[in-house]
Amino acid sequence: MQVRSTIATLFEDVAREQRRQLAPLTDDLKLLESGLDSLSFALIAARLEDVLGYDPFDTADAFPVTFGDFVRMYEKSAT
The CATH class, in words, for 3-78 is mainly alpha
Question: Residue 1 — pLDDT band, cuts 50, 70, 90?
Answer: low
**What pTM does this model have?**
0.92
Q: What is the mean pLDDT of the chain?
A: 94
Alpha helices in 1-79 (DSSP H): 3-17, 38-52, 67-78
- What pLDDT is stored for residue 62 in this prediction? 82
3-class DSSP state of 37: coil
Judge whether residue 78 has pLDDT over 90: no
CA distance 78 to 16: 27
Report the share of the chain in percent with pLDDT over 90. Answer: 82
* Closest among 62, 68, 57, 72 to 30, alpha carbons compared: 68
Domain ranges for the chain: 3-78
pLDDT digits (tens, 9 = 90+) for 6-41: 999 999 999 999 999 999 999 999 999 999 999 999
